[in-house]
Structure formats: structure tokens, C-alpha cells
Structure 1
Amino acid sequence: MESKQLKWIYLGTLSLIWGSSFILIKKGLIGLSAIQLGSLRLIFSAVFLVLIGYKSLFKLTKSQWKYVALTAVFGTFIPAYLFALAETEIDSSTTAVLNSLTPLNTLILGIIAFGVPFKKNQFIGICIGFIGSILLVFNGASNHPEQNYYYALLVVLASICYATNVNLIKKYLPTVAPLSITTGNFLVLLAPAVLLLYFSGFFDIISAPEVQISMGYIAILGIVGTGIANILFFKLIQISSPVFATSVTYLIPIVAFFWGLLDHEILTPIQFMGAFIILIGVYLSSKK
């Protein structure tokens, strides 16, 4: 299958997986703290990836390991904790919407720090998608005045981390196998995640039924939503562009909103309009 067709399949699959991640975080926070959730997410992912991809680590050169470590910190470690902390105050749908700032940050960072060229239609598409995101955010805020929107800044910071990550991969690891990058990422993060989990008091509450149920949700999040999804995402970056790859964050809120509806979160007609505008932005940002 040609890369042009394949990139859309990857984009759709990732939007479904990552769009479901926010409701899993919400369910996981019922029995876990944000630090415990972020640590378990990383640990489940690391164990899964090392089991299936340890042989791929031998393909990494010494010079590539420093960039694998950098992408691990920006693309996985920091965002895993920031999203968990954010969802202690704002709902999963709003978090998913704010995550759609990633393509805009990717384009800005790519131009300023990495010298990445861009097309006029990419910039227009991202602006349109951003307008749709603003509609969703402000409408969500008006419907949830009890939420602390200062925590939304954590999601914005996470989107900047993601933007840094995709530009690093595109510039310094463009030919490295996605499984090698992903497995290397989580091998680097395993020890810090275990230490944070140990000092979080997790082992004092592990026997509680609600904790074990939450662990089940985070196991799914870690293995599918982080481990498998990262492999697909790195491949998408390599066969497309950083801006197109991060346009998945425009589709994520749509999936997240439908999960939110099932969990009794509010979805208004204006939010539906915002989602449609976002889709237009995705199309324009990827159009030749």
C-alpha cells in the first residue's frame, strides 16, 4: 500500500486509540493518584515493549541513544504525568480538545528551532483547526464553571512537549525503526517510573478493590494507548510530515467526546460544530 493511503489508516487508528485514552485516565484516577497513574502507565508500557521489542534495541547506535532518551522525556515521560494531573480538575473531553494545540506548536517549533519548511495550506489548516478547538474549549468552560481551568495549562505544556518530540524524531531519527525508538524510550523511563511509584505510597493501597480496577484500565492504557500507539505514531511521522502526524490531535477530541457522552459528560451543538471545523483543518493541513 502506498504511503499516501497508509498514512490515513495510521491516522484513523491512532485517533481511535488516543481518543479513548482520556476516558481511561479518568477511570484510572478513581483509585489512583496522578503520580501513581502516570508511573503505572509507563511501567505497563515498558514491560510490554521490552518483551516484544528487546531485539530491536541492538539496532540503535551509541549516537542515536541520546536522541532516544530525549524523545522519551518529551514524548512520553512528562506528558504522562501532566495529563493525569490535568484530569484531576478538568474533564476528559476538555483535555482532549486542549491536546489539539499540538500541531500548532509543532509548526511553530519546527520553523523556529528545526528549520522545517512549511506550506501555506498547512498553516491555514492548522489555524482553522485551532479555531474549532477554541470553540470547543470555551463552550466546555461555560458548561463546567466548577472546573479549575488553570490545570488546562498542564495540557498546553504537554502539547509543547509532544511538538518537541515529533520534530526531534523527524530530524534525528528519521530512518530508525519505530519499534526500536519506542522500546528504547520505555527502557530509559522504566527505572524513574518505578522509583516514583514506590515513593507515591502505591504499595500501601494496592490491595484495595478500586485500586485494582483502576490498574486494569491503566494496563489497557499503557499497552495499547501508549506502547502500540507509539509504534504506529513514529511510523506515521516517518512516512508523512510532523504537522500531518500531529493532526491526529484534531481527531482525538471527537472520539473523546463520544466516550464522554457515554460517561455523562456534556456535548453541545456548538461543540459538534467545533469538531466539524477541526476536520476541515485536518484536511487542509494534509492537502498537497
Structure 2
Amino acid sequence: MNSSKKKWFYLIVLSVIWGTSYILIKKGLKGFTPYQLGSVRIVLAGFFLFLIGFKSLKTISRQEWKWVALSGFVGSFLPMYLFAFAETEIDSSVTSVLNSLVPLFTLFVGLIFFRIKFTRNQLLGVVVGLFGAILLIVLGKELNPDQNYWYTLCIVAATIGYACNANIIKSKLQQVSPMGIAVGNFACIIVPALMFLPFSGFFKADVVSGEFFWSSLGYIVILCVLGTCIAKVMFNKLIQISSAVFSVSVTYLIPIVGIFWGVLDNETFTFEQALASLLILFGVYLVNKKKKSA
């Protein structure tokens, strides 16, 4: 499979995996608090990654460790807690839509801090896709007026973290293997997560004996293996064989999958939201259509 086909394959697979992550977070929150869910997710994902890729840490040089650590905190540690907090108030489908802010922030973070050029088509595609995402959000708010939309700020902060992470990997970690980046990320963030775990009340008897403890833990395990371990390695590889902007275009497809799972879980989805979703897909096309650089 050539690089062009491979990057599209990764994009589609990642959209399915990460689009499913939001419903898994929602189910996990039935038995855990956001602090507990985020900490357990990091610890389990770190454990799985160490088992399968510990030797890949050798691909990281001493000078690159600072970027690996920064990548881990902005691209994994903070978003895992922020999305958990957001879904205590906002539907999983709306959360997946808000994640579409990532390409917009990726463009400007890359331009301002890393001097990465982008094309007019990429900028137009981000704007079109973002407009579709905003339309979906507005429609979702009208359908769910009882939800606290201040929690969307958690998702905005997480998307900025994802954008910074994509640019860090593309600009500073091109020589590190995708597995090495993933394992290195969690080697840096697993210690603070382990420190948070006892303070979160995870080991209290009422949590372990709770009605949803084991089912929620099962959802988190699936989330860790697919949504964190496998997907993170694939995403790192996608960034290296494409561009930072193309790689985060996965966030345009994630809402489609997220809304699908939300509907199955009795969340409301209208015809108008379907049209807005098509607008997002058109944004993906524009982002990846070749044109002269701005």
C-alpha cells in the first residue's frame, strides 16, 4: 500500500476508533468520576503500551525527551481529564462534534510557533468544516437546553492541546518511531496519574462495590486498548507520512461516528444535523485538495 492510500486508511480507521471513544467515556462515567476515569485510563494505557513497546524507547534521544514529555502532557494527559469532565454535562455526540476545532487550532499553532505553511484550500476547508461543526453544536443546544454548555470550554482546551501535539510530532519528533512516541508519552504521564488515583477515591469500598464499577471498567479497558494504545500509534504514524493538518482532519469524520453511537444510545439527531455533517465532510475535501500555497 503506497503512502497516499495508507494515510487515507489510517484516517478512516482512526475516525471509527475515536468516534467510538466518546460513547465509551459516557459509559465509563456511570461508575467513575472524571478524575478516576482519566487516571485509570492513563495507567491502563501506559501498562499496555509498556508491554508491547518498551524497547521502542531506545529510539528517543536525550534531546528529544523534552518534546516527548510535552507531547504526552498536551496530547494525552490533559485531554483525557478534560473530555471526561465535559461529558458529565454534554452529550457524547456533541462532544465529538466539538473536537472538530482541532484542525483550526493546528493551522494557527503551526503557523505561529512552528512556521509551518498551509494552503488557501486548507484554510478554507477548516473554516467550512468548522462552520458545519458550529451548526451541529447550535442545533444540539436547542435540542438539549438543560445541558451546561460552559463545559464546552474543557473541549476547547483539549483541542488546543491536540493541535500543539500534532505540530510537536511533525516538527520535532520525525526521527522517533510512532511506537516510541506513544510509549514515551505515557512513560512521562503515568506517574502523575498514579498520584491522582488514590486522591480521586478510586480505592474506596463504595466505588469498587458500586453497581456500575465492573461494566464501566470494561468500557475503559476497551477505550484504552483501541482508543489510546492502538490509535495513538496509528496517529503518530499518520502525522509522519502526511501533514499535521491532514492528520487532524480525522476530527471532521469523528462526529459522524460519534453521532451514530449517540443515536443508538437514545441521543437526539435531526435531519438538519445530518446536513451539517455533510458540510463537515466537504471541509475535509477542501483541506486535502491541492492548490498553490498562500
- Report TM bin, short chain: over 0.9
1:196 corresponds in structure 2 to 196
CA shift digits 1:63-108 (9 cap, x unpaired): 1111100000000000000000000011101111111000000001
Counterparts of 1:64 and 1:214, CA distance in 2: 36
Q: Which runs of 4+ in 1 moved over 3 A?
A: none
Please state whether the residue corresponding to 2:69 is helix, strand or coil.
helix
Aligned twin of 2:85:
85
Aligned residue for 2:262?
Answer: 260
1:103-156 CA distance string (max 9 Å, x none) = 000001111111011111111111110111011000000000000000011101
Aligned position for 2:249: 247
**Aligned residues between the structures:** 288
| CA-CA distance at 1:264 after TM superposition | 0.2
- The answer to whether structure 1 residue 122 and structure 2 residue 140 are counterparts is no
Equivalent residue, structure 1, for 2:288: 286
Q: Please report how far the alpha carbon of residue 286 of structure 1 lies from its aligned counterpart in structure 2 after TM superposition.
A: 1.0
- Deviation digits for residues 27-71 of structure 1, max 9, x if unmatched? 000010000000111111100000000011112111111110000
Paired with 1:247 and 1:274, the residues of 2 have a C-alpha distance of 16
Q: Which residue matches 1:16?
A: 16
Equivalent position of 1:163 in the other structure? 163
Q: Please give the secondary structure, in 2, of the residue aligned with 1:43.
A: helix
**TM-score scaled to structure 2, two decimals?**
0.97
Structure 2 gaps of 5+ residues are: none
Quick one: which amino acid aligns to residue 5 of structure 1?
Answer: K
The 5-angstrom pairing of residues 64-143 of structure 1 reads 64-143=64-143
Deviation sequence 1:231-250 (CA, Å, 0-9, x none): 00000000110111001001
The secondary structure found in structure 2 opposite 1:62 is coil
SS at match of 2:203: helix
Between the aligned partners of 1:102 and 1:270, the Cα distance in structure 2 is 23
**Aligned-partner residue type, residue 78 of structure 2:** I
Superposed displacement of residue 207, structure 1:
3.1
Task: Report whether the alignment pairs 1:276 with 2:278.
Answer: yes
- CA drift at 1:195: 1.0
**Which residue identity is paired with 1:88?**
T
**For the residues of structure 2 that align with 1:207 and 1:228, how far apart are their CA atoms?**
30
Aligned counterparts of 2:214 and 2:146: Cα–Cα separation in 1: 29
Partner of 2:233: 231
1:30 matches 2:21: no
What is the letter of the counterpart of residue 100 of structure 1?
Answer: S
1:54 equivalenced with 2:59 (yes/no): no
**Matched AA of 2:107:** L
Q: Structure 1: which 5+ residue stretches go unaligned?
A: none
CA contact (8 A) 1:38 1:80 kept: yes
Matching residue's letter, 1:247: S
Distance, in Å, in 2 between the alignment partners of 1:187 and 1:194 is 12
Helix, strand or coil: the match of 2:168? helix
Using the alignment, how far apart are the partners of 2:113 and 2:187 within structure 1?
Answer: 27
Q: Which residue number in structure 2 is paired with residue 63 of structure 1?
A: 63
Secondary structure of 2:90's counterpart equals coil
Question: Distance in 1 between the 2:256 and 2:215 partners?
Answer: 26
